[in-house]
Amino acid sequence: MSNESKQGDRIAKVLARAGVASRREAERMIEAGRVSVNGKIISSPALNVTEKDRIKVDGADLAEPEQPRVWLYHKPIGLVTTNRDEKGRKTVFDSLPEGMPRVMSVGRLDINSEGLLLLTNDGGIKRKLELPSTGWLRKYRVRVKGTPKDEDFAPLRKGVTVDGERFQPMTITLDRQQGANAWLTVSLREGKNREIRRAMESIGLEVNRLLRISYGPFRLGDLKPGEVEELKGRVVRDQLGLSETPKPKPVRTRRKPRG
């Protein structure tokens, strides 16, 4: 078993890379005694492993990591972005088309929000895209109740603190008034829990529709609610700065001469 800090990778990272779970979920699986290395159940994620180590999850050998894959998904209203919901509500993962491999969501959209949700089979990609340091712009179409004026959004453009939590400055455009509601385009780079809704509430506005239309370079486009579209491997590699994993070359055998 390899446990030197400079050798191999952390076990949770390896599990995430293989698409078993996110790093945090993998750490919880380890603490629950569901992971073994070289025949021994481990209880701490503070362990490095290499290709020589035999890893099992729930008694089954860990599968070889696949090529990193990313999907665009149009999340409908009414689904929660979690693997299991304690209230028994339907989840995003219950609603994916048949034939989808095990995937993780990049960030979340709350139950009353809709639009673009990125899905991936790779825990490393999930972590990379969720880190604040990545700084990818997330853009939303937002409908609020009322007749706001452009100057009303000045506090949000500077950044506000709501219930002790600091929100970074948002880019907000007042697009049009439609009856008793106004449509806005809102862009931000973090995406904390219910950030836009809470920020709008802090200036007296109620959000009654929220649709994410882009996440970094990836756009919702014409995807209908519930539809999934896989990005081409080249696009994933180019946008995320990944190198292509070489495919093994076929083994050639020489024919024995006749006679």
Q: Look at strands 206-215 and 114-120 and give their pairing.
A: parallel
Residue partners of 137: CB distance under 8 A and separation at least 6:
187, 188, 189, 214, 216
110 part of the active site: yes
Active-site residue identified among 9, 58, 110, 222: 110
Side-chain half-sphere CA neighbours of 106 within 13 A = 29
Residue 201 φ/ψ region, left for φ over 0, alpha for ψ in the -120 to 50 degree band, beta for the rest: alpha
What residues contact residue 194 under an 8 Å CB cut-off, 6+ apart?
110
User: Which amino acids are annotated catalytic?
Assistant: 110
